[in-house]
Amino acid sequence: MAGMETIQYNLPQSRIPQAWYNIVADLPKPMAPVLHPGTMKPIGPDDLAPLFPLALILQEVSTEREIEIPGEVRQIYAQWRPSPLYRARRLEQALDTPAHIYYKYEGVSPAGSHKPNTAVAQAYYNKKEGTKRLSTETGAGQWGSSLAMACAFFGMECKVYMVRVSYDQKPYRRALMEAYGATVAASPSNETEIGRAILQEHPGTSGSLGIAISEAVEVAAKDPNTKYALGSVLNHVLLHQTVIGQEAIEQMAMADDEPDVILGCTGGGSNFAGLVMPYLGRKIKGQCNARVVAVEPAACPSLTKGRFTYDFGDTGHLTPLVKMHTLGSTFVPPGIHAGGLRYHGMAPLVSHVMDLGLIEATTVQQLDAFAAGIQFARAEGIIPAPEANHAIAGAIAEALQAKQEGKPRTILFSLSGHGHFDMQSYADYQAGKLQNYDYPEEEIAMALAGLPTVG
């Protein structure tokens, strides 16, 4: 029998990273401080204590390079980590490209995306500090299901405020969270003051992530047994995702290959950061020359079109002010199906490395993203999440450019999750019901005009 080509690079359970990598320790310039929205002064740990356990607050502000992963968290990671690195040989063949295409696949987690990497860690630290219940928001549902699963593992209650439109459109995501034992409410709900106020003013509202965040935060702030958990944006969340990139570095060495370009889709920034931060740490030290590319939806282009300035994390302006690339916190992105990428801002850490010139950014239109996803599925078998289709489109563009130049190129991208709970979007795409969105210039200009004045 002919020899086989390797397409799967697997590490043993023992190679799950021992520590998360904190790039803050290696940054040539420190990040801007987070500001209290009332005083406009830098916030301290006490300001966050009602919402998060101390361990996570300390991670949020840590400047240590390595933060040890607790044994119990690593033990749970072993359910799906180290995640596989694939060489997309059938896709390469379909594209007839000299490029090598690799993807790090996070859809092997039981909840189907990279989100459990931080959900399990957040649940662990909360459990350890006595939290009985976690509250959170979810849009598309990847984050809500991941936290629901993590809470099931640690025997904690989980309360999810799910944006009304998703609650109605994605009953199976809700069924998944409820199978894990979580309680799910459509947001805005009658359970919170802010929810009741909004329902009174807009009885038929379809909700928003901003409103759902406000409800989850309100519940946590009022109940000493409940803390709040966020699935992206914050430093400690991005930190937990760095297992992805650390494993990828080791797996690319197994493949005896080195990426020329590294891509990931960006919404809040956690999946992208998870893959690229360990590489950027090397880049800062001159040990890596790869171009690092954030791929965002044309309809919500915070890195490519946003302003790098202080803004609120939510539409209701309850959160602290963070310096980030933002389209304006009152901007409501068009209804693209990649719900996980519909966020007005970008993680401050990702914004910061963009500002430092360590990464670049590009945009992909919705129809191009789905076309890429379909091509990928037919070659590689995996149905990608609509969010991940943006990274695939970016990778295919790189591979075709290499073909045009007639030169090799090694491409590595993050396939953040599968699309098993997003099949309606594929059905709509195949039926010709989806559309592209022009850059919403006026709406963004208006939202940016309303930015808070700082300093």
For binding to a second copy (CB under 8 A), which residues are involved? Answer: 1-2, 4-8, 10, 12-14, 16, 18, 68, 70-71, 74-75, 78-79, 86, 90, 108-112, 116, 149, 152-153, 171-172, 174-176, 178-181, 374, 377-383, 418, 420-421, 423-424, 426-427, 430
Among residues 341, 339, 312, 316, which one has the least CA distance to residue 328? 312
Of 18 and 289, the one with the shorter C-beta distance to a second copy is 18
Q: Least distance from C-beta 249 to a second copy, angstroms?
A: 20
Of 242 and 326, the one with the shorter C-beta distance to a second copy is 242
Q: Least distance from C-beta 97 to a second copy, angstroms?
A: 18
Of 109 and 309, the one with the shorter C-beta distance to a second copy is 109
Q: Least distance from C-beta 18 to a second copy, angstroms?
A: 7
Task: Please name the residue that has the structure tokens 């502000």.
Answer: 61
CB 327 within 8 A of CB 301: yes
- Sequential DSSP letters for 96-121: T-S-EEEEEE-TTSTTSBSTHHHHHH
Q: Least distance from C-beta 319 to a second copy, angstroms?
A: 30
CB 76 within 8 A of CB 243: no
Q: Which stretch of DSSP H or E encloses residue 367?
A: helix 366-380
Among residues 311, 297, 223, which one has the least CA distance to residue 267? 297
Q: Least distance from C-beta 454 to a second copy, angstroms?
A: 42
Cβ burial 178-188 (10 Å sphere, 16+ → b, else e): eebebebbbbb
Q: Least distance from C-beta 432 to a second copy, angstroms?
A: 13
Of 41 and 172, the one with the shorter C-beta distance to a second copy is 172
| Alpha-carbon separation of residue 411 from 226, 233, 290, 393, 394 (angstroms) | 43, 25, 9, 12, 10
Q: Least distance from C-beta 164 to a second copy, angstroms?
A: 18
Q: Least distance from C-beta 236 to a second copy, angstroms?
A: 20
- Sequential DSSP letters for 129-194: TT--EEEEEESSSHHHHHHHHHHHHHT-EEEEEEEHHHHHH-HHHHHHHHHTT-EEEEES-SSSHH
Of 272 and 421, the one with the shorter C-beta distance to a second copy is 421
Q: Least distance from C-beta 397 to a second copy, angstroms?
A: 21
CB 144 within 8 A of CB 184: yes
Of 180 and 331, the one with the shorter C-beta distance to a second copy is 180
Q: What single DSSP character describes residue 32?
A: P
Among residues 341, 294, 333, which one has the least CA distance to residue 113? 341
Q: Least distance from C-beta 168 to a second copy, angstroms?
A: 14
Of 95 and 176, the one with the shorter C-beta distance to a second copy is 176
Among residues 147, 148, 200, 189, which one has the least CA distance to residue 167? 189
Of 222 and 378, the one with the shorter C-beta distance to a second copy is 378
Of 72 and 191, the one with the shorter C-beta distance to a second copy is 72
CB 198 within 8 A of CB 222: no
Of 2 and 449, the one with the shorter C-beta distance to a second copy is 2
CB 250 within 8 A of CB 327: no
Helix 270-284 to helix 348-355 angle, to the nearest 10 degrees?
Answer: 40
Q: Least distance from C-beta 171 to a second copy, angstroms?
A: 6
- Sequential DSSP letters for 325-336: EES-TT------
Which residue type is seen at 242? T
Of 61 and 152, the one with the shorter C-beta distance to a second copy is 152
